[in-house]
Structure 1
């Protein structure tokens, strides 16, 4: 066991974020790594048991964390995003959820051997997928926008519905099986659910209006939202347990659709907090499991139940609920397979296990075991299969990492053509149709629109692109684009090119610190690069080998050569920058902007060698 509670809190954070890093480094599902790490730290090695160590604080901590995670997910649910997806999302979230509940409950009773009460309670819980498991999988798999948005919306909409459905099932069955049925408990439940929805809407609307009218300063906006989320969840949850999830979901959706600009700024902060909470909570939940629970997972009845839920219940509910929609067969197949369960299922099932146990149900202890079995199996199976399945069904944008270039000019068009030659996805975005003429004539993919516009956010598919280059003639705009998209692309993948060697407004030092790394060299401006392309500089590819090393290449290159990027055989790229160290290895290709004089000399040397060889052969 760990020496102190403080040490345990440190260890939970370290294991959680460490698992996220390992998953990122080796391109594996983060939830799988976190689950394995939690099991090793808890029941297997016995280093900690958070449920026992935290005592009465354990359940409130989990509940508040789940509420914040769910709010952060619902904050992404702008109704503009589901234009054209309304019918499939509505069908899956209503008819599909109902079918999944009924079929899952019947399976739990007849296969897993649960009583009707426990079966219908667990059936309601298992319609939940949730943002904590869906979002990481979507980031990992690079699905096409349509199936990705459907899975995201289903996960967040159904998340509170599953918890409420479990409460509803418990209240109904308790009412029907009672010796003296009292309908007041049902009325209280329905009234509390309506109150939770109204409370969430009121909290979202209220704090949104305060933001719009400037009643809350910028530095207090994120803390204020946090406190309101916790208050909204707590007030609803104190009236009827689990209605708090409905309240925070309603609050998040209300804020997301008010069109408040500052919400976008907070969204990145909340995503960071959400990742931290997901990491910590998953470690805490899995580390708190008992060894007996793990051994029960291998019971044939439980394993049979898990397999039927994955291969029969989920696909059947999706196919039946989407009859008459415009979903293609390959989309239905993907949606019918992907349904990982996560934190909400674990936390809610733990609550109902204790409630059913207090009510005298002998099979209540099996609920936690079945939940963990389904959560872990679906997370592993779906996490490792979503990428390959999406490729086979032609629903994946997976491929070589692409580059999104903001600004159309001579240099960026030629840079895009060089990326096309190495088969890397590329697109140029510009608000001027005239400037895009160069891209159109060169056959380079382009998008006509303002990069920072809300319309561009919904119309431009950015999934294939991992790198962004801001190379317009406005230095401040380049910095603003980099600052805006740095949280999405990562600090090492966002670059800017200075339009001029010296900022005409004297703002160079300030803009330099705003955002984005300087592409290539600090003394090399967009004006210089455009001039080089007009002077017919060559975009040259050089392969580094064991014989022709990178060191030798650097020694022999012309001093006017501009190193652009290095590409590995796998397609991974590294753009040159003074702030990043690029060290190509044998097999890598270095792309550079080479003076035409040196290129002519190389061509002449090559022709001379050919003539000499021909002379010898004759």
Structure 2
């Protein structure tokens, strides 16, 4: 152990350790449904300052700075690539205000909070204040999924974070260059002209490279299997070229490059999007672990009450004032403005860029530059914890979040899906039926089921359907190919275990079988839509039964031996279709959605009529829906 501590782990073993800690922290956060950045912060502090197992400066040496810089470049490219201007919809005006008014105002107020709250010098505060414009898309996204926000405030928060990422880095570049110029003998006019030329050069190069890549991909000049490698290599080369002209201007170049490519309507967009998402998860994990592990114990110990005053000023004063002033005169209702004003978690880009500039300020002679890194960690930790636990209840209090249980999104209107939606509604499960054919929605609309007319994969659905309100998807149209397309396309959105599809015609034949990565999960023992329709035409009916301690699964099987279980609703509201009736398990408090044969339906109707009740589908008082 002493040999390992003195000699270090070495780059290869250190890389492996960073990967295990980073990805492991993200997985644990997913399992516990909490913001991943908190777990990555704890993991990095344990691996670094707490145990000394990982020392990035020792284990990576001179490679540490370039590695972090390249990783941040890829993360910012992902942010620009994700900014599809066509998807902003009614949030476009609000996003523009938060960027053009909010970013400069936030820079000013953050700088004042750093000077008066944290006690930083004006030089360090100006640089760090520019970085604090960033609100962290890697943190906002999981928070929005958990809180189930309404569409417009969710978009405002998401796109503000994406757009302001490179703006914060650029603001830091501007402030840093001014500080360095003020400490050198270089004339201010010459320094400003050099800075302006560098920024214009970076933006132009990023735009031209993005346009060139998009044109090459559209014209088929790059084969499919080489598109991701070509994109990645071009991204790194663009960053290196522009960064050699002006430090950190490469971040602006790759963001512009991503913005151009992301809005070029490329046919390979999904493949590229998935690649950059996977790469970003790995890089975000790695960067955060490295930066957390690189924090020194004495730097953390040096933080006093000023750090918490600074965070309080940012959360309670700077952020609310920035948003409320920026949105004056906008059409946004007051509850949406208030929610956005009170939501501003910071993320990995803030920590990464702050760490870089803090070190460079210290090297340039700004003594308190070393405090920027620890202050950034404190800000990220507190804002993520505060907003992680308060966003959902605050949104519900303001009427901007779904309070319903997890619902079912059904693609395809028919007699079968209408009957299923009716019984689920009776079980207090939210249901939405969508179909591109208006004739297929006549029956569900007549029965009071919520519907959406249009293609669920189209832009109109993105602007209208609140996907966050539904946890499970069922593709059940009369077109097997369309069902497969919907299930495949929306699987990343819902999770593959939550996407179901009616079995296809000839699905069991080898000649017609599809790869496992296409389509959704099957259920119903191979029964197609026509098979379910025939069942209903024969007189079979859906019923919902609540399982209790007294009336368990054995009693239900004995009472209804011919019933065919279709779905289970857990006590928490989670939905799952039944793939194997013999292995069916239902916890007390859960509900079974099943099909009853005609004779059982008649017996139930007769029994209810003799008792003077309407058919409820329940076997007795112990099994009624609460």
The TM tier, using the shorter chain, reads over 0.9
Say if 2:18 is the partner of 1:12.
Answer: yes
Q: Give the corresponding residue for 2:561.
A: 558
For 1:333-356, what per-residue CA distance to the aligned partner results, in whole angstroms no more than 9, with x for missing partners? 111121122222212222222222
Say if 2:182 is the partner of 1:186.
Answer: no
Q: Distance in 2 between matches of 1:365 and 1:506?
A: 64
- Give 1:505 shift: 11
- Give 1:159 shift: 1.0
Name which of 404, 414, 423 aligns with 2:419.
Answer: 414
Moved over 4 A (4+): 1-5, 176-180, 503-507, 578-582, 602-611
Distance 1:61 1:583, change over 3 A: farther
- Give 1:35 shift: 1.6
Figure out how many residues of one structure are paired with residues of the other and give that number: 607
Q: Give the corresponding residue for 1:402.
A: 407
- Give 1:315 shift: 0.5
Say if 2:552 is the partner of 1:546.
Answer: no
Distance 1:340 1:491, change over 3 A: same
Q: Distance in 1 between matches of 2:320 and 2:453?
A: 40
Name which of 580, 583, 586 aligns with 2:585.
Answer: 583
- Give 1:287 shift: 2.1
Contact kept, 8 Å, 1:429 with 1:449, in 2: the verdict is yes
The two structures have a TM-score, normalised by structure 2, of 0.91
Q: Give the corresponding residue for 1:45.
A: 51
Q: Give the corresponding residue for 1:614.
A: none
- Give 1:602 shift: 4.3
Q: Give the corresponding residue for 1:196.
A: 202
Q: Distance in 2 between matches of 1:408 and 1:525?
A: 14
Contact kept, 8 Å, 1:400 with 1:571, in 2: the verdict is yes
Q: Distance in 2 between matches of 1:64 and 1:449?
A: 42
Q: Give the corresponding residue for 1:616.
A: none
Name which of 407, 425, 430 aligns with 1:425.
Answer: 430
Distance 1:455 1:232, change over 3 A: farther
Contact kept, 8 Å, 1:97 with 1:158, in 2: the verdict is yes
For 1:239-296, what per-residue CA distance to the aligned partner results, in whole angstroms no more than 9, with x for missing partners? 2121111111111111121111211232123222222222232222212211122223
Distance 1:340 1:52, change over 3 A: farther
Q: Give the corresponding residue for 2:397.
A: 392
Q: Give the corresponding residue for 1:215.
A: 221
- Give 1:493 shift: 0.8
Say if 2:579 is the partner of 1:573.
Answer: no
Say if 2:128 is the partner of 1:119.
Answer: no
Say if 2:306 is the partner of 1:304.
Answer: no
Contact kept, 8 Å, 2:504 with 2:528, in 1: the verdict is yes
Name which of 233, 242, 255 aligns with 1:236.
Answer: 242
Q: Give the corresponding residue for 2:621.
A: none
- Give 1:592 shift: 0.8
Name which of 360, 365, 368 aligns with 2:365.
Answer: 360
For 1:500-528, what per-residue CA distance to the aligned partner results, in whole angstroms no more than 9, with x for missing partners? 4x369996313776321112322x12111
- SS, match of residue 22 in structure 2: helix
- Give 1:454 shift: 3.7
- Give 1:124 shift: 0.7
Q: Give the corresponding residue for 1:536.
A: 539
Q: Distance in 2 between matches of 1:253 and 1:102?
A: 27
For 1:191-217, what per-residue CA distance to the aligned partner results, in whole angstroms no more than 9, with x for missing partners? 111111111111211111111111111
Distance 1:415 1:101, change over 3 A: same
The CA RMSD measured in Å over matched residues stands at 2.5
Q: Distance in 1 between matches of 2:43 and 2:9?
A: 19
Say if 2:479 is the partner of 1:509.
Answer: no
Contact kept, 8 Å, 2:9 with 2:54, in 1: the verdict is no
Q: Distance in 2 between matches of 1:205 and 1:303?
A: 45
Contact kept, 8 Å, 2:500 with 2:520, in 1: the verdict is yes
Q: Distance in 2 between matches of 1:19 and 1:214?
A: 40
Q: Distance in 2 between matches of 1:376 and 1:117?
A: 24
Q: Distance in 1 between matches of 2:588 and 2:606?
A: 27
Contact kept, 8 Å, 1:476 with 1:511, in 2: the verdict is no
For 1:8-36, what per-residue CA distance to the aligned partner results, in whole angstroms no more than 9, with x for missing partners? 33332222222222222222222222222
Q: Distance in 1 between matches of 2:472 and 2:262?
A: 27
Structure 1 residue ranges without an equivalent (≥5): 612-618
**1:252-291 → structure 2 map (5 Å cutoff):** 252-291=258-297
Contact kept, 8 Å, 2:427 with 2:544, in 1: the verdict is no
Contact kept, 8 Å, 1:175 with 1:183, in 2: the verdict is no
Using the TM superposition, name which of 236-245 and 20-29 deviates more: 20-29
Contact kept, 8 Å, 1:567 with 1:573, in 2: the verdict is yes
Q: Distance in 1 between matches of 2:88 and 2:554?
A: 52
- Give 1:177 shift: 5.8
Name which of 598, 601, 614 aligns with 2:600.
Answer: 598
Structure 2 residue ranges without an equivalent (≥5): 614-626
Q: Distance in 1 between matches of 2:44 and 2:155?
A: 30
Say if 2:103 is the partner of 1:97.
Answer: yes
Using the TM superposition, name which of 173-182 and 346-355 deviates more: 173-182
Distance 1:372 1:544, change over 3 A: same
Distance 1:57 1:308, change over 3 A: same
**1:313-328 → structure 2 map (5 Å cutoff):** 313-328=318-333
**1:435-474 → structure 2 map (5 Å cutoff):** 435-474=440-479
- Give 1:133 shift: 2.0
Q: Distance in 2 between matches of 1:606 and 1:6?
A: 72
Q: Give the corresponding residue for 2:154.
A: 148
